[in-house]
């Protein structure tokens, strides 16, 4: 990708558009480029935002684990927008930024606990095409987190796959959220098996 989206961003207009831009600037400091792309189909934009808002309200699983899982999906799929935005969100939620930085190379990093590694491996396995989730990893996560948290974690990872793959397909790249708040760039992604 050269920085241009595959579908050019539409001008965000009208009353609804002004509300969305105001809300984005207030909560994020800027209007993400993705909003302009999705503005071509406002029903899709609004429904994605609604589902994303509901996902953020789930509370059976630890926020840090969910954040790391989402970033692992983004890193594996290559969604620079999601990785950058979730890094920004992790910073705003006071999560462990040293670990967040290491997500793209989690297999080679010694920053993570055994539970975090299991969660990252689960996100990785769910993101494979065909998924490579095993009975053993789910059983281990159930024992460590409980059924409710595993169901939530699974749904968060599935949602991350949904949004990251759409952004990559549409050519939506990083908007520089992490840089805007002075955060160091994430570690480079390490190829599996290298």
pLDDT digits (tens, 9 = 90+) for 11-38: 999 999 999 999 999 999 999 999 999 9
- CA–CA gap between residue 113 and residue 106 (Å, rounded): 11
Range of the domain at 76: 60-194
Q: What length is written for the chain?
A: 194
Angle between helices 147-170 and 114-127 (to 10 degrees): 50
Q: pLDDT by residue (tens digit) across 91-139?
A: 999 999 999 999 999 999 999 999 999 999 999 999 999 999 999 999 9
User: Which token pair is 146?
Assistant: 């409980």
- Residue 68 domain flag: yes
73 shares its domain with 164: yes
Average pLDDT over residues 29-54: 96
The pLDDT of residue 180 is 73
133-172: b or e for each residue (b if 16 or more CB lie within 10 Å)? beeebeebbeeebeeebbebbbbbbebbbebbbbbbebbb
Residue 193: which CATH number?
1.20.1290.10
Count the domains in the chain.
2
- CA–CA gap between residue 153 and residue 122 (Å, rounded): 9
Burial category of 194 from C-beta neighbours within 10 Å (exposed 0-12, middle 13-18, buried 19 and up): exposed
27 shares its domain with 85: no
22 shares its domain with 79: no
139 shares its domain with 172: yes
């Amino acid at each position: 990708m050269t920085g241009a989206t595959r579908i050019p961003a539409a001008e965000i207009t009208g009353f609804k558009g002004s509300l969305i831009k105001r809300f984005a600037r207030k909560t994020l400091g800027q209007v993400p480029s993705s909003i302009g792309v999705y503005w071509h189909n406002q029903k899709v934009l609004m429904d994605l935002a609604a589902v994303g808002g509901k996902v953020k309200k789930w509370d059976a699983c630890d926020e840090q684990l969910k954040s790391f899982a989402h970033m692992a999906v983004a890193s594996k799929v290559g969604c620079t927008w999601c990785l950058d935005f979730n890094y920004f969100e992790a910073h705003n939620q006071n999560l462990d930024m040293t670990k967040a930085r290491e997500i793209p190379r989690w297999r080679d990093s010694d920053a993570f606990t055994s539970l975090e590694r299991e969660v990252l491996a689960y996100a990785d396995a769910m993101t494979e095409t065909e998924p490579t989730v095993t009975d053993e990893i789910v059983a281990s996560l159930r024992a460590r987190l409980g059924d409710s948290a595993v169901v939530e974690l699974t749904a968060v990872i599935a949602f991350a796959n949904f949004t990251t793959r759409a952004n990559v397909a549409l050519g939506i790249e990083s908007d520089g959220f992490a840089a805007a708040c002075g955060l160091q760039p994430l570690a480079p992604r390490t190829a599996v098996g290298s």
